[in-house]
Every structure is written in C-alpha cells, then in structure tokens.
A and B are shown apart, each in its own frame.
Chain A
Amino acid sequence: MDTPVMPPAAAAEDLIATDIEAYLDRHQTKSLLRFITCGSVDDGKSTLIGRLLYDSRMLFEDQLAALESDSRRHGTQGAEIDFALLVDGLAAEREQGITIDVAYRFFTTETRKFIVADTPGHEQYTRNMVTGASTADLAVILVDARKGVLTQTRRHSYLVHLLGIRHVVLAVNKMDLVGYDRAVFDRIVADYAVFAGSIGISGFTAIPISGFKGDNITSAPSANMPWYAGPSLVRHLETVEVDATAAEQRPFRLPVQWVNRPSHDFRGFAGLIAGGRVAVGDVVRVLPSGRTSRVARIVTMDGDLPHAVAGQSVTLVLTDEIDCSRGDVIAAADAPPEVSDQFEATLVWMAEAELVPGRAYVMKLGTQTVSATVQAPKYQINVNSLEHLAAKTLELNAIGVVQLSTDRRIVFEPYAESRTLGGFILIDRMTNATVAAGMLHFALRRAQNVHWQATDIGRDHHAACKNQKPAVIWLTGLSGAGKSTIANLVEKRLARMNRHTFLLDGDNVRHGLNRDLGFTEADRIENIRRVGEVARLMTDAGLIVITAFISPFRAEREMVRAMMEPGEFIEVFIDTPLAEAERRDVKGLYAKARAGQLKNFTGIDSPYEPPETPEIRIDTTRLGAEEAAELIVERLLDR
C-alpha cells in the first residue's frame, strides 16, 4: 500500500513487551477527553478519524484485512486504503457512502483515552450534530483547504458554540492538495477568526493537516510544513483541559438520582456530582426545599471517601433526616443554584412533528422530570446566516429562542454555567419521542417576582367544611357522544346527595372565559389549559367539578391530570363510535363538517385520541345515560 503510515509508538511497544506491569501502571493514570468532529463527507472527516484509529493502533489485523477488501469493493481511493470505510457504519449508509447518524469511536494514546462523536455534515442532520456536541469537551471543525470557510463551517461553529463546547480546533485539511501552502492556511485562519469572533467563540486552535497523508496528525511539524510552529492534532488533544476538571472549580452540585434505603438506619442520596467538590462535614442545601444539613458520609463500595469531585458517582449520607428525593439537588449551602418555573431557552427541534406552542411536553433536566409548556418562539435562527426570523413554530432541525414554563419550580443553572443543570430534553407525551434539546438561559422576572402566596385557610379546610373529597370528573369523547347529557345527570344525582358541585360545559365556557379561542390545535390546547386551571381552583375551594369537553388530545388531558392532586382526576371516556355519534348528530354539526362548512371538526378532519387507561369507560351503545350517571357517581363515592 502506498499510504504513508505513521510508525506505531515503538517505545510503548517495547515497554509492553518487556515490562507490562510498568506499562499498565503508567496507563492507569490516563484521563478521558470526548470530542466531536464536524465537517462534510468531502472534508475528509471519516478519513481523519480512520487515520486516528489506525495510527493509535486500535485496529487489529483482521479488521485491516476487512478494510482492505472493503476498500476494493466500496472505496473511493483506488487501490489505496480508504480510511473512511472504517467509520462509515450501518449497511444502508455504507451503500450510500455517507454517515447519517452519530457514531462513537475510541482510541487511546500514551496519556489519554478519546471518545470521538462522529457526526455528519449533511444539512438536514443538525440534530445529530447537536447530540454529538452535547457531551463533547472539544470540537474539531474540518475545513477543506481548497474550499476555505463555507456556509457549513459557519453552521457547525455556531452549533458548537451553542452547545457550549469550550475548545475549538480549526483543522485545515487536505493541505497536500494545495501544495502545503502556508498562505492558503493563513488566509483561511484569518477568515475564520473574523467569523468566530462575531458569534462569540473567544479562541480556537488552527492546525494545518492532511488526514489522508498523515501530516501534523501525530507529530508536528510535518516535513511538508516546516513553517508550522504549533502542536500536532493529537498532541493538542492530549493537553487541553477536560470539562470535568474545569467543573471542579464550580460550586458543589449533586442532582439526586436515587435514594438508597437498604434498612431503617441507612438513607443515602445517590448521584453523579455535576460540579465542584464535597467533603465530609460540608454544609449543604437541598433544593428546591432550601433545607440545610451536613455531609455525614460519602459512601462507596470501596469504603467511605473523605471528599469527592465533579464527575464521580457517589452516595451521600446527611446528618439530618431531611426530605430529599429523586429530582432534588444537593448543593453548596452558600452558593445554591436558582429555582424557577419560567425561563428563556434555546430549543433545537428534533422531531418530524413540529412544536405545538401551548402543549405540555415532558421535560427532563438533570434528574428532574416535569411538565413544560412552550410559547410560540420569539424568533427562529437561520443557522446558515445567523439571522433572526419570525416563527410561529419550530420544525425538524430548526433552532429558536422560546419562553417556557414548568408546572412546578425546578432547580437550574444557566446552560453556560452548567450543562447538567441547564441542558434539557422535551419528550412528546404520546409518542414518547425525544422531540427537542434545550438550553436554559435565565429565569424570567415574572417567576422571580410573583411568589406563591401561602394562605392560612387551605384546600383541606375548604373540603372539610363541605364534608366531601374534591374531585374533577373529566368527561371526554366525540361531539355528540353524550357528554353533556351524562354530565348533567351526574350533577343532579350529586346535588340530591347534598354534594357541592359545579359543571363546566364546553359550549358554555366558550361563551365567556374562552370566547377568544377558535378550534385550531393551538386554541384547543389553550381552551383545555384554562378549563384545567379553573377546575383546579374549584377543587381548591372543595368542589366536585364535572367537565364535559371533547378534549381530543391525550397530552392535554394528561396536563390537566398533572395539575390536580393525586387521585382527584377521574377521566371518564364516553365511548360512542364515530358512526353512532354521526347518526345521532343532535346539533347537526357532523352534517356541516361533512359538507365542509365546519373546519377542524373532531373525528372528521381533526383527530380524537381515546384515553388508554381512563378511570371509567362508558360504552353508550350498551349503557343508557341514567345508568352511566349512576355508575360514575358510584365510582366517585367509592374512592
């Protein structure tokens, strides 16, 4: 083969052969750096990674043999070894000759182990790059020396900066194809410096390389570029500070993952330390409650530790019996993180289904899981031009700045300060897909200044006066299913029993509270949210609330359920087949919808998502309205 091959680290080889114990001792102290490579297929990214694996002797002979045979079959380098084939993964992708997902590769040198996130440079795969960048300490941005800084270079740099990567390497690749010309390199570096500065990248390291020929990869300067005075790529990767080490300088943070209770006399809080260090005797604060305590023990299977640092998974025992569970954050008492429920954040949308403003998504941040509602974006960012564009929603691969609110206060830090307490994902309640990645910037003043006013007469008192347990009987079903009829009968029965009730009817609410809302998906969501809030106030007042709304989307019904105290939300599915409801057509609406006079009509041109596990299901083809009401009341009183 003609490809110049860097000699394997001969000294290491000798040591392995002659004194394996000495070699292993040395390798026990290696550190770990995670980095991402950004560039397109044409920039020689896969070739560079293949080269790094090859040069660090992470390939075995049988893999090399497979590589050689693959090179002949699919290769693009003629008779030479095509390093790119080492890293291009799944079969279908290999046929197409492109990487379409994030793949992780590993190699090691004398001082560090590396995890490389290999992500594609393709336009439509912003989400993959964001995924790979989220865990990276460093980014290698590849530029083809013949082409210079391109639109995609800017896009990748913007994403790298957005995801908070602290170290940027500008690798000017294919120097062999421009005659190793220093002027070409200098021009590209100058171009890039202007752009990098404009988006807030404060510094970067530029290295002229040839992934194909091996110049300045493991040693520098290469004989072809005597003018280059900096480190080789590998040398640079071996010496930059890793994030976990930097995080040790920050205040102590431990998001609690799991409470370890093997017996009555042991209660440990397990988690991965996100920032700072902790020692036995330290005063800590548990958030969001704000209670303080001291660290009694740092427990591991290898024995108790006197102290621990960011990046370690530990179990803490506190001196006091304070309330602390999964989702809480144990922090330095004198420098606690913030707590809020309203935020400004940047979202990267990752799903085919676009963002629905107003819809409640599941939000995961650290070990906290809450319900979050996103408002219509303030603006969307064009990743190529970095312009701010007006937007009503976010589509796949779109990036936008939004305000979002959570259903309860969460412990957070700005993303720029902590990836763990500032980075989050949004999950669709229905499909369970991860639909967005987000970065919190700051809490909105609204939440900071509007505090929850504790009142002396609480909901328990209200309920006790009425001698009843508050509840929300939530009737859902198609238009014409019989919701209003049954709701009315339920209320009459309860009234006869001297229960204090209130019936919220869909049509009636739209005459007042919600008269500004129409029937688009967003308006329907807002309609249900308001009704949920009203129902919540009424249960606080001790009432039994009966609601009759089509409420077609599972996500919104689940949102309302989450607003209520456990056990207070009783979902009743009025199950009437579409054909039957349409046959009844009490209000003549189906006829209008079929005639095209009514838009967004549930069951016709707008979906109805039936409940999966309702508390009560009423099959109206088998049960009359009176019997249904009787059944519901019976179940309510049985609680």
Chain B
Amino acid sequence: MTDTLTHLDRLEAESIHIFREVVAEAERPVMLYSVGKDSSVMLHLARKAFYPSPPPFPMLHVASGWDFRDLIAHRDRTVRDYGLELIVAQNAEAEAQGINPFDTDSALYSEAQLTEPLKRALDAHGFDAAFGGGRRDEEKARAKERIFSFRNAAHRWDPKTQRPELWNLYNARKAKGESIRVFPISNWTELDIWQYIAREKIDIVPLYYSKPRPTVERDGLILVVDDERFRLAPGETPTLRPVRFRTLGCYPLTGATQSEAATTSRIIQEMLLATTSERQGRAIDKGQAASMEDKKQQGYF
C-alpha cells in the first residue's frame, strides 16, 4: 500500500498536535514571532491548529530597533490581517547605553538586544510557555534538544536534566517560576520549510526574494544599507546588487546572498545547489562550534 500522507502532511500534523497540547496544558502561552520564514510557517501552523478560532495566544516580537523596515511592515500587516495580538519587546535603554550593532561586541549585543528583552517580556507578562521556531537541523546543539524544553526561573537551559520525550506524549508540568520553550517545528529541515511555504503559498517577508538593493561589502559579508543610520566608511558608497536573505536579523549584522532567485521555487533550487548553510549569514553564530549551546544555556532561544 502506498503512503497516503506525504512527509509535509506528517510534519504539519505533528506540529499542530504540539500547538494544541501546549494550549490545553499551559496557563499562559505566547509565540515568539521573529517575522522570519520559520516564524511565518509556525504562525500558519498555529492558525491551522485552532481554526476556526484564532490562535489563542499573543505574538511576541523581540525588536532591536535595527530591524529591516520591510520586516516591520510585514509584521504589522500580518497582525492586522489575521487579527492577532502583538507584543513588541525592546530594550529601551540599549541606545542610551551606547549599544549598537556597529560598535558593540556581537556577543554583548545579542545579549542586550535579544536575550535580555526576551527574558524581561516573558517575566513581565507571566508567560509560562513560549513557542519558538528552532529546528533540530540548524545546529548540533539543537539536534539534542527536546520539543518541550524546560527553563528554570532564570531562563537557563540545562542539557543534563532534559525530560525524556516518548511517543507524542509531552510532560508539560512545571514548578512555579519555571517555563517551557516549545519547538513545534523541531523536526522540519530548511528544505521542508521552503517546500511548505511553496505548497501552502505562505506570505513571507519580501527580503527573502532577490531584488536589487543598496549594498556594501564588509569582512566578506554583503550588507544592505536599509536606512540612513547605516554608518558608511569614508569613501564607501552603496552599490545596487541583486541580493536576498536566507536569514533575517539586525540589518547591519545580517549578510545577504548575491542571488537572482525571486520566487520560492528558485530559492529552493538555489538552496539545493548551494554550498553554504543557513546560519553562516548570522554574525552572532560565529565563533567556537559549541557557541550555540553556551547561548542556549544563558537563555537565548
């Protein structure tokens, strides 16, 4: 007998199951909405899980103030179209403290702009479960993380005390102050994500598609000059190049890829023939191989 369900059907069903389990068992869930492609897939799955009800939890966007303008526009449009509740977390003091993507050390920058505001927002709203878009294929440390990942009151992850996850049974019980990070798309790969975006015609931020954009090249990264705050070196002038992004972070730190791919299938084609993996574009993940694990232990998603 041939298989009735395709791999995307099965992945979709598993993710929906996870969303529903959390909503049935957690008191105050929230979805970490980075507005990237993985978040867009997550949101699509969440809408499917609870249809015809809207997703019964708010979206939390950790904004650094250095986000791409297209990304913010896409976020606001999505929230409006689907009638979602949006919470924006931002480190208001960062600017006064002189923290910016140009001068601040990348580890300190991500701590101040991403990890800290995230932890603060989770605490302030009393969220006890947060959906995140982490995938096990992204990095070796993620490959071993559970779908339900527990954080102590200080939001730290302890890889030694993970609970075993059997069948599709998830133990969502926790003590006061503890919270769960839940990764509904753990078992998806980057290729699955793109195939699903194509199949479901999911609207994603246009930055993923190639377009001539004003760019400069620095330390091997192609950076897009997204607004007038971008500091140009003396004599440096932005050049128009057809580029797209494989991952979206703070614009002065996120490298673009030179590409002509302006449709989802072209992107998949490029990816299949590509030679560099996704996280290379993110300056934050560089460094020693185990750096992601260190960050997770500190509370980074």
- In whole angstroms, how far apart are the Cα atoms of A13 and B265 in the complex? 15
Binary interface profile of A, 86-104, with partner B (CB < 8 Å = 1, else 0)? 0111110010000001111
Q: Does A313 contact B (CB under 8 A)?
A: yes
State whether B11 touches A32 (Cβ < 8 A): yes
User: What residues of B have a CB within 8 angstroms of the CB of A16 in the complex?
Assistant: 269, 272-273
**Would you call B13 and A311 a contact (CB within 8 A)?**
yes
Q: Does A7 contact B (CB under 8 A)?
A: no
Interface residues of A in 21-36 (CB under 8 A from B): 21, 23-24, 27-32
A270 within 8 A of B: yes
For the complex, is A523 an interface residue (Cβ under 8 Å from B)?
no
User: Beyond A32-B7, A32-B11, A245-B1, is A432–B173 a contact (Cβ under 8 Å)?
Assistant: yes
Question: Contact partner of B169 among A29, A30, A364, A612, CB < 8 A?
Answer: A364
Indicate whether B38 reaches chain A with its CB closer than 8 angstroms. Answer: no
Q: Given A244-B3, A257-B17, decide whether A28 and B289 contact each other with a Cβ distance below 8 A.
A: no
Give the Cβ gap from A155 to chain B, nearest Cβ, in Å. 18
Of the listed residues B7, B9, B47, the one surrounded by the most CB atoms of chain A closer than 10 A to its CB is: B7
- A520 lies within 8 A of chain B by Cβ: no
Complex contact A257–B198 (CB within 8 A): no
Docked Cα-Cα span, A24 to B4, in Å, equals: 18
Q: Is B227 an interface residue (CB 8 A)?
A: no
Residue contact A60 to B3, C-beta cutoff 8 Å: no
Asked whether any CB of chain B lies closer than 8 Å to the CB of A420, the reply is yes
The residues of B that contact A61 with a CB separation of less than 8 Å are: 275-276
- A90-B293, A131-B164 known; A60-B136 Cβ under 8 A: no
Q: How far is the CB of B295 from chain A (nearest CB, A)?
A: 12
Instruction: Report the Cα distance A315→B16, complex, angstroms.
Output: 11
When A245-B4, A272-B13 are in contact, do A130 and B166 touch as well, CB less than 8 Å?
A: yes
Are the C-beta atoms of B187 and A364 separated by less than 8 Å?
A: no
Taking CB as reference atom, which chain A residue is nearest B194? A24
Q: Could you say which of A63, A367, A427 contacts B277, with CB atoms under 8 Å apart?
A: A63
Contacts of B5 in A (CB 8 A): 31-32, 244-245, 309, 311-312
A326 within 8 A of B: yes
CB interface residues, A 136-156, toward B, < 8 Å: none
8 additional A-B pairs beyond A60-B274, A103-B144, beta carbons within 8 Å, are A28-B8, A29-B6, A127-B164, A131-B164, A135-B167, A270-B49, A313-B20, A434-B171
Given the known interface contacts A90-B159, A364-B171, A424-B169, the answer about A434 and B20 at a Cβ–Cβ threshold of 8 Å is: no
Q: Knowing A28-B6, A32-B11, say if A260 contacts B171 (CB, 8 Å).
A: no
Min CB distance A192 to B, Å, is: 27
Residues B137 and A106 in contact, CB atoms below 8 Å apart: yes
CB of B53 within 8 A of CB of A262, answer yes
Contacts of B186 in A (CB 8 A): 104
Write the nearest CB–CB distance from A265 to chain B, whole angstroms: 11
In the complex, the 10 A-B pairs of residues with the closest C-beta atoms, listed nearest first: A91-B290, A31-B3, A61-B275, A313-B16, A32-B7, A60-B277, A301-B51, A20-B269, A113-B7, A134-B166
Q: Per-residue CB proximity of A233-257 to B under 8 Å, as 1/0?
A: 0000000011011001000000001
Q: Which chain B residues (122-142) contact chain A, with CB distance < 8 Å?
A: 136-137, 140-141
- What are 9 A-B interface contacts by the 8 Å CB criterion? A24-B198, A32-B7, A62-B277, A91-B290, A113-B192, A135-B168, A301-B51, A420-B167, A423-B166
Structural contact, B24 and A257, CB atoms closer than 8 A: yes
Q: B17 and A131: CB pair below 8 A?
A: no
A302 to B45: give the CA distance in the assembly, Å: 12
Q: Per-residue CB proximity of B221-265 to A under 8 Å, as 1/0?
A: 000000000000000000000000000000000000000000001
A104 lies within 8 A of B187 (CB): yes
In the bound complex, CA of A338 to CA of B216 (Å): 68
Q: How far is the CB of B150 from chain A (nearest CB, A)?
A: 9
- Which of A23, A28, A242 has the most B CB atoms < 10 Å from its CB? A28
Known contacts: A89-B143, A299-B51. The answer to whether A30 contacts B6 by CB under 8 A is yes
Let me know if A423 and B169 touch, CB within 8 A: yes
**CB-based contact B169/A350 at 8 Å:** no
CA distance A141 to B52 in the complex (A): 45
Question: In the complex, what's the smallest C-beta–C-beta distance from B28 to chain A, in angstroms?
Answer: 16
Please report the C-alpha to C-alpha distance between residue A130 and residue B165 in the assembled complex, in whole angstroms. 10
Which chain B residues lie closer than 8 Å to A113 at the CB level?
Answer: 7, 189, 192
Q: Using Cβ atoms and an 8 Å threshold, which residues of chain A touch B140?
A: 87-90, 103
B162 within 8 A of A: yes
B interface with A by C-beta (< 8 Å): 1-14, 16-17, 20-21, 23-24, 47-54, 136-137, 140-141, 143-144, 159, 162-169, 171, 173-176, 186-187, 189, 191-192, 195, 198-199, 265-266, 268-269, 272-277, 280, 289-290, 293
| A112-B164 contact given A60-B276, A258-B23, A364-B169, CB 8 Å threshold | no
A 416-468 contacts with B by CB, 8 A: 419-420, 423-425, 427, 432-434, 437
User: Which residue of A has the minimal Cβ distance to B288?
Assistant: A91
Kindly state whether residue A560 has any CB partner on chain B within 8 Å.
no
Minimal beta-carbon separation of A438 from chain B (angstroms) = 9
- In the complex, A37 has a CB within 8 A of chain B: no
Q: How far apart are the CA atoms of A27 and B191 in the complex, in Å?
A: 11
List residues of chain B with CB within 8 A of the CB of A420.
Answer: 167-168
**Are the CB atoms of A311 and B10 closer together than 8 Å?**
yes
Mask: chain A, 102-121; 1 = CB below 8 Å from B; 0 = not: 11111010001101000000
Interchain CB contact under 8 A, B275 and A60 = yes
CB within 8 Å for A131 and B166 given contacts A102-B144, A300-B51, A326-B24: yes
Interface centre among A28, A104, A108 (most CB of B within 10 A): A104
Contact A257 B144 (CB under 8 A): no
Query: Which one of A21, A90, A135, A365 lies within 8 Å of B141 (CB-CB)?
Result: A90
Known A-B contacts A20-B268, A60-B275, A91-B290; the reply to A244 vs B10 at CB < 8 A is: yes
Q: With A and B bound together, what is the CA distance between A81 and B289 in angstroms?
A: 17
Report how far A20 CA is from B269 CA in the complex, Å: 6
CA distance A104 to B137 in the complex (A): 8
**Residues on the B chain within 8 Å of A301, using CB:** 47-48, 51
The answer to whether B52 touches A262 (Cβ under 8 A) is: yes
Q: How far is the CA of A105 from the CA of B265 in the complex (A)?
A: 25
From A23, A103, A425, contact of B171 by CB (8 A): A425
Contact B163 A433 (CB under 8 A): yes
| Shortest Cβ distance from residue A170 to the other chain B in the assembled complex, whole angstroms | 25
Are B174 and A300 in contact (CB-based, < 8 A)? no
State A134–B164 Cα separation when bound (angstroms). Answer: 11
CA distance A311 to B16 in the complex (A): 11
- Cβ contact within 8 Å between B169 and A312: no
- A257-B20, A260-B50 as given contacts; A106 in contact with B189, CB under 8 Å: yes
Interface pair B189/A427, CB less than 8 Å apart: no
Partner of B173, one of A112, A270, A362: A362
Whether the Cβ atoms of B3 and A245 lie closer than 8 Å is yes
* B17 interface neighbour in A60, A313, A419, Cβ under 8 Å: A313
Distance between Cα atoms of A131 and B52 in the complex (Å): 34
Q: How far is the CA of A306 from the CA of B289 in the complex (A)?
A: 50
The smallest C-beta distance from B220 to any residue of chain A, in angstroms, reads 12
The residue on A at minimum CB distance from B173 is A432
**What residues on B are CB-neighbors of A108 within 8 Å?**
189, 191
Confirm or deny: A576 has a beta carbon within 8 angstroms of a beta carbon on chain B. no
Closest A residue, CB atoms, query B11: A32
Contact B195 A28 (CB under 8 A): yes
Given A24-B268, A30-B7, A434-B164, are A115 and B1 neighbors across the interface (CB < 8 Å)? no
Known contacts: A103-B144, A272-B168, A313-B12. The answer to whether A242 contacts B17 by CB under 8 A is: no
Residue of A nearest to B186 (CB): A104
A425 touches B166 (CB 8 A): yes
User: A residues within 8 A CB of B143?
Assistant: 87, 89, 103-105
Instruction: Assess whether B4 is in contact with A350, with CB atoms less than 8 Å apart.
Output: no
Residue among B48, B168, B265 with the highest chain A CB neighbour number at 10 A: B168
How far, in angstroms, from A367 to B168 measured CA to CA in the complex?
Answer: 10
Report whether A434 and B52 are in contact in the complex, using a CB–CB cutoff of 8 Å: no
Q: Which residues of B contact A311 (CB under 8 A)?
A: 4-5, 9-10, 13
Whether A115 lies near B269 (C-beta < 8 A) is no
> What CA separation (Å) do A437 and B168 show in the bound complex?
12
Q: Is the CB of B167 within 8 A of A258?
A: no
Q: Chain A nearest CB: distance from B146 CB in Å?
A: 9
